[in-house]
Structure 1
Amino acid sequence: WPWEEPVKQRKSTSQWRRWHRWLGLAVALPVLVLSVTGVLLNHIESFGWSSRPLPPLLARWYGAPVPESVSGIVLDNRWYAQANDSLFIDGEKSLYCRAPLRGVVQDNGWTVVGCADALLLLDAQGQQVERMGPAYGVPAFSTLGRNDQGLVLKTEQGLSQYDVDQLASVALPEGATWAPSLFQALPVTMKQRVVAQSVPPSLNWQRLLLDLHAGRLFGLAGQLVMDLAALVLVVLALTGTVIWSRSRRS
């Protein structure tokens, strides 16, 4: 009958609308993420976020070795701390110092910092003057301190007096008195600065937005969801065109 064709067409269009609606609902959240992150990435330079480091909590989620707590040594009203192979002086990243920090003392007018495998000689401004390792006669040591004569290193063989000018060490008798470096918790604001500076530069807001946009933040499953959302967007564009054309004919 002549009226049957319009009825069939309306049923077919209704089915297209139903598929269009359910597909749109299924990918609403990933499409929202794609859209918002796309807009933010397009204007990230204007926001000044491209190189801004991530907060420490997000950096740890990425697996970055960002410390939760930091202890240090205070010497002549200066704080010395170590995080991620960097020496921090008064909360500012200053020099390379392989972990762990073994101590900080004053000796012959120098500030001597003990890193894992070396001694750093710093001047009054905190600038490195010399880095001394085994080639300078520095024995392997676990703790750094001092006595009345100067710098003392604790080694596997016992205590050793080390002269930074003569580059020579002398074993101390058993039971010799000395004062090892004392570690204590950093002031809260200084600790926050140290932890924030421990975030690798590569972990910034642009990296986070890119990973969200591509779904990489949630592994392979997240990437597949975003790929599926992009494909469904293509299907929605096609079904929307079909629905519009059928509505025009009706």
Structure 2
Amino acid sequence: MKQRKPTGGWRRWHRWLGLLVAMPVLVLSVTGILLNHVESLDWASEPLPPTLARSYGVPIPEQINGSPVDGHWYAQAGERLFVDGRAVAACSSPFQGAVAVQGLIVAGCGGELLLLQGEQLVERLRPAQGVPAFTRLGVAAGALILETDNRLLQFDPDRLGSAGAPSGDWQPAPLASVPSTILSDLQAASVPAALNWQRLLQDLHAGRLFGRVGQWLMDLAALVLVVLALTGALVWARSRR
């Protein structure tokens, strides 16, 4: 009768354990290699696409409202003001629209007024400079109008003063869904800078992307790798006898 080699049992355990953790080990290896070269790949600060960012619970809007003024679109995303999809200035939420007044574009951002010429920020006016608390802005008879909780005010950006709005109808800043060609840029800008490809690779490497179960699975894979190293060395040592 053929005698079974004493290493046969270890070999079987070694083989089945290897098959059991093949996929987690593959993920550990690939993500480890990519993380080792993440700087040279320029992924350390490259934000994730909006689709992947949504998997982290980031509220990437499906539609973004902006103001069409003089053939250009003014909109806010990621705490920045965009003109035709190009970032031009810091802009806090909420975006309150944009209008053309006396050769300038005036945009409302979180209670502040941004004065622009084209894509160039000329001045930022804050409440401390006399800007009243307003919910909307618009124009009437060529003057800037700010809508407060209970009345309309005419505001002069040059003199930083406000007075009662002139009689007659006023035109609030138009707000509409931005075109799809601009929307993709604004959605990408809505992804936080900290949510980049390096973060995704780190979470995949540690299993955090799949919650506690994923972390335990990666911990188990790492422990099995230790066992495989030990059993591999044991099989090799016994085969040398």
TM-score, structure 2 normalization:
0.90
Structure 1 or 2: larger helix share? Answer: 1
Find the partner of 2:151 among 148, 158, 163: 158
Task: State whether residues 66 and 84 of structure 1, in contact with CA within 8 Å, keep that contact through their aligned partners in structure 2.
Answer: no
Does residue 1:197 correspond to 2:152, yes or no?
Answer: no
1:16 maps to which residue? 10
How far does the alpha carbon of each residue in 1:26-70 deviate from its partner, in whole angstroms, 9 at most, with x for none?
211111111111222233344443332211111122233433221
Does residue 1:230 correspond to 2:222, yes or no?
Answer: yes
CA distance in structure 2 between the partners assigned to 1:145 and 1:228 by the alignment: 62
Q: Give secondary structure in 1 for the equivalent of 2:25.
A: helix
**Equivalent residue runs for 1:92-131 within 5 Å:** 92-122=86-116, 124-131=117-124
Counting aligned pairs with the same residue, the percent is 56
1:183 partner letter:
L
CA distance in structure 1 between the partners assigned to 2:84 and 2:65 by the alignment: 12
Number of aligned residues: 241
CA distance in structure 2 between the partners assigned to 1:247 and 1:69 by the alignment: 66
Q: CA deviation at 1:129?
A: 2.2
How far does the alpha carbon of each residue in 1:158-183 deviate from its partner, in whole angstroms, 9 at most, with x for none?
2111111222212237x841111111
Does residue 1:39 correspond to 2:33, yes or no?
Answer: yes
CA distance in structure 1 between the partners assigned to 2:239 and 2:67 by the alignment: 77
1:56 maps to which residue? 50
1:177 maps to which residue? 169
CA-atom RMSD in angstroms: 2.1
Task: State whether residues 147 and 153 of structure 2, in contact with CA within 8 Å, keep that contact through their aligned partners in structure 1.
Answer: yes
Q: Give secondary structure in 2 for the equivalent of 1:120.
A: strand
How far does the alpha carbon of each residue in 1:83-120 deviate from its partner, in whole angstroms, 9 at most, with x for none?
13211111012211111111211222221111121111
Q: Give secondary structure in 1 for the equivalent of 2:209.
A: helix
How far does the alpha carbon of each residue in 1:107-140 deviate from its partner, in whole angstroms, 9 at most, with x for none?
2222111112111111x23322222222232221
Does residue 1:188 correspond to 2:180, yes or no?
Answer: yes
Q: Give secondary structure in 1 for the equivalent of 2:146.
A: strand
